[in-house]
Chains A and B, each alone.
Chain A
Amino acid sequence: MITIVDYNMGNSGSIRNMLKKLGFDSQITSDPRRVAAAGKLILPGVGAFDAGMENLERGGLIPVLNERVLAARIPVLGICLGMHLMSRSSAEGERQGLGWIDAEAVRFHPGGNALKVPHMGWNGVTAMRSETLVQDLPVDSRFYFVHSYFIRCRREADVLLTTSYGGVFHSAFQCDNVWGVQFHPEKSHKFGMRLLKNFAERC
């Protein structure tokens, strides 16, 4: 059973639908007691950083999430905003992040090169490692991105995937039991299915 944390930042239904299609049980919940009993977590999310942290706090979710991830060390996958919340901070907001990974979120700078922001659409990835979450990922994998801020890991060893948009940024990380992806696997066709299947089976 995979527990998808609902903290009112976007629709989690498509993650659940994809997991169901792949044959994995999941539940969407905002109840801290259910999160406290979780064996595997997904922290999704679309929207602004501060609003995300505020909603987690108001929902009483931060202590149980910290206990699950830092003490019980269960596998957790952050998606898009969820990934950003796992970091220490974001240029998008004032609040502190969960700090599960030594990283920060910074903004794309459009500059003079006609780079459109948000970075929206399908883009490729380059794998820095090839196990767990990204095992057997086809070389030509493409994922669906929608974001104006991206994650910068402070430790090179934590970087799992990189993507090129204007420059190279970190599109997936792993630090022990904490995984994060910038793109939306639940909207990324068979490539996203591969990745979520890996999370369910190999993480």
Chain B
Amino acid sequence: MTSVRLIARLDIKGPNLIKGVHLEGLRVMGDPQEHARRYYEQGADELIYMDIVASLYGRSKLTEIVRRAAHDVFVPMTVGGGIRNVDDVRDLLRAGADKVAINTAVVRRPELITEVARRFGSQCMVLSIEAKRQAPGRWEVYTDCGRERSGVDALEWARRGVDLGAGEILVTSIDREGTRSGFDIELTRAVATAVRVPVIASGGYGEPKHLLEVIQDGAADAVAFADALHYGRAAIGELREHAQRAGINVRMT
């Protein structure tokens, strides 16, 4: 069987690695390349780069960051933020990305999922869902980095996205992002059981038990870590050991 993937997520603004709380309240953390290299050396299974202001301004500096990373980082890289069309996807893949994660543009125009999947394959079309809890068992999709309500139900959107061609889903809980209070287990589990493509849980890691919960109870196929890594509160190697001790199949380095 495949291992549960431990992913380093780098939120980017302009040329900088930043961290946010609830996808807002940004703080600059430094050069993304240094961090990327460190997480790669620590044995991260993948990297996710997310330009978290790009969709607001309709542009992105990610291509250069990705091109630079591709010389030193030899694990899959997913890139998102501000992608509007198939040409944007092509440029990012050429720069060295393996997959793209799209939220805002596909909520506005769901056919883009199919266009990307047809042209480059489902395996590189990651549907990024940023969701906020509305009621028990109900989450709403937000766009533009957690700023705009879409009126779309997260679970229905997940199913539809996969039908349209998404090969993987990145689920970010806006409620938990940057809070260190644990992943939204219910949300992750609801999405993971609604679709038959891999689901990446993102937002809320605070301590090792949160990792175990989101895999065992949340049924996540992959887990993303951001500020816990950036601040050195956790290292990929330790996370891996925690998971392995709990009997979870992870790639050992």
Contact = CB atoms under 8 A, between A and B. Distances in A.
Interface string A1-34: 0000000001101100110110000000000000
A126 B75 CA distance: 21
A146 B123 CA distance: 7
Interface residues of A, number: 36
A47 interface: yes
Say whether chain B's binding surface is mostly helix, strand, loop, or mixed.
loop
Interface in B45-93: 45, 70-72, 74-76, 93
Interface in B205-253: 221-222, 251-253
Interface string A87-115: 00000000000000000000000100010
B137 to A, nearest CB: 22
Interface residues of B, number: 32
A190 B253 CA distance: 9
The interface centre, meaning the residue of A46, A146, A184 with most chain B CB atoms within 10 A of its CB, is: A146
B135 interface: no
A187 B98 contact: yes
A11 B90 CA distance: 10
Contacts of B1: 123, 164-165
A22 B179 CA distance: 41
A118 B197 CA distance: 8
Interface string B1-26: 11101000000000000000000000
Contacts of A63: none
A43 B120 CA distance: 18
Contacts of A186: 74
Given A121-B198, A187-B76, A189-B43, A142 B96 contact: no
Nearest to B98: A187
Interface of A: 10-11, 13-14, 17-18, 20-21, 46-48, 110, 114, 116-123, 140, 142, 144-146, 164-165, 184, 186-190, 192-193
B204 interface: no
A146 B124 CA distance: 10
A14 B96 contact: yes
Nearest to B76: A187
Interface in B95-139: 96, 98, 120-124
Contacts of A18: 74
B43 A116 contact: no
Nearest to B67: A13
Interface in B151-188: 167-168
Contacts of A140: 252
B149 interface: no
A121 B2 contact: yes
B196 interface: yes
A19 B41 CA distance: 18
